[in-house]
Amino acid sequence: MNEVPTFDYMILPTLEALQTLGGSGSNQEIYEKVVELLNIPDHILEISHGSTSQSEVEYRLGWSRTYLKKYGLLENSSRGIWSLVSKSIDIDDLDEKEIVRKVRDQDNSQDISPNPVNDIQTLEILEEEEASWHQQIHKKLLSLEPSAFECLTQRLLRESGFIQVQVTGKSGDGGIDGVGIARINGFLSFHVLFQCKRYQSSVSASQIRDFRGAMQGRTDKGLFVTTGTFTRDAMKEATRDGAPPIDLIDGEELVQRLKELGLGVKITMIESVEVDLDWFKNI
C-alpha cells in the first residue's frame, strides 16, 4: 500500500477491528487494529493531516467511524469508547459504497462528490471551526519553550489527579523531564516518570527504549507526552512484554485533554430560547 487509504476503504476494516477487540474499543485500539489488518506501512502512517498533529490515516479513520455511527452500526460513549450495536453484524453482507450512499442521502448532502477523497475535502469545510481551534492549540504548543511545555505537562498531570508532580528536566536527568504520583480511587498510588517532547514529527521506537533505559531501577511506570505522533514500532515498544510499560499521549490526545480540562480552552454554550405562545392562552 503506497497511498493513504480512503475513509470508505477503512469502513469494513473498522467493523472487523471492533469484532476482533470483543465488540468495543478506544480510538487508539481501533486505529492500531485497522493498521494491522490493512498492513499500512509506517511511511504512510507518518503523513500528517494538514498542519495538525493528527495523522491523515487517523483523520480519515475518524470519518469511517462517523459514517458507521450514522448508518446505525456503531455507537460511542462520552468517554470515547466505540462499540458495535450488535454482535451479530455480518461484514460479508455489507457494502461500504452502500453505507456511504445511504449516509449521504440521510444528510441531504446533494453536492458531495462520489469520490471519497473529495468527500473528505467537503467534510473538512463542514468541520472548519472544529479544526480551527485544534490547529490554534497545536501551533501554540509547538511555539512554547521546552521549559514551558514541561510546566504545561506538569499542570496537565496535576489537573488529572496526580500529586507531588515535579519537573526535573533542567537537571538533565537522563532524559527524564519529571516525576509524579498517580493515585487510583484514593487508595492505590505509584510513581510515574514522564518525558515530554515538542515534536512535529513522530517519536521512534529507539526514543521509547532510551526513555525506558532512563527509568531503569527507578519506577515501573512511564509516560511519554508529545505534540507529534508515535510510529507503529514506538507503540509496540511501549507495551512490549517483559518491559516496564510506558503510556503514550500524542498531539491529538494532548489537545483533547487540554479541552476536557479547560486548560487554554473556553467552551461557550449557546442558549436557545423558544417562546410557547399557546402557554399564554391558558393564563
Helix (H) / strand (E) element for 188: namely strand 188-197
pLDDT in tens, 33-45: 999 999 999 889 8
3-state secondary structure (DSSP) of residue 26: strand
Q: How far is CA 30 from the centre of its chain?
A: 11
Alpha-carbon distances of 4 from 42, 131, 133, 198, rounded to whole Å: 11, 20, 25, 25
- Whether the Cβ atoms of residue 112 and residue 104 lie closer than 8 Å to each other: yes
Domain ranges of the chain: 11-126, 140-261
Res. 25 pLDDT band, cuts 50 70 90: confident
Determine how many CB atoms are found less than 10 A away from the CB of residue 36: 13
Average pLDDT, the chain: 83
Helix (H) / strand (E) element for 149: namely helix 146-159
Question: What value does the mean pLDDT take over residues 53-59?
Answer: 85
Question: What value does the mean pLDDT take over residues 101-128?
Answer: 57
pLDDT in tens, 142-154: 899 988 899 899 9
* Residue 16 pLDDT: 95
* Residue 282 pLDDT: 67
Three cell numbers written together for 123: 467534510
- Evaluate if residue 225 carries a pLDDT over 80: yes
- Evaluate if residue 113 carries a pLDDT over 70: no
The pTM of this model reads: 0.62
3-state secondary structure (DSSP) of residue 184: strand
**Tell me: domain 140-261, CATH 3.90.550.10, correct?**
no
pLDDT in tens, 67-112: 999 999 998 876 678 899 988 899 999 999 999 999 988 876 544 4
Q: Domain 11-126 is of which CATH architecture?
A: Orthogonal Bundle (1.10)
Give the closest residue to 38 by CA, choosing from 2, 77, 66, 74.
2
Alpha-carbon distances of 217 from 168, 176, 220, 244, 279, rounded to whole Å: 17, 13, 8, 10, 71
Res. 246 pLDDT band, cuts 50 70 90: very high
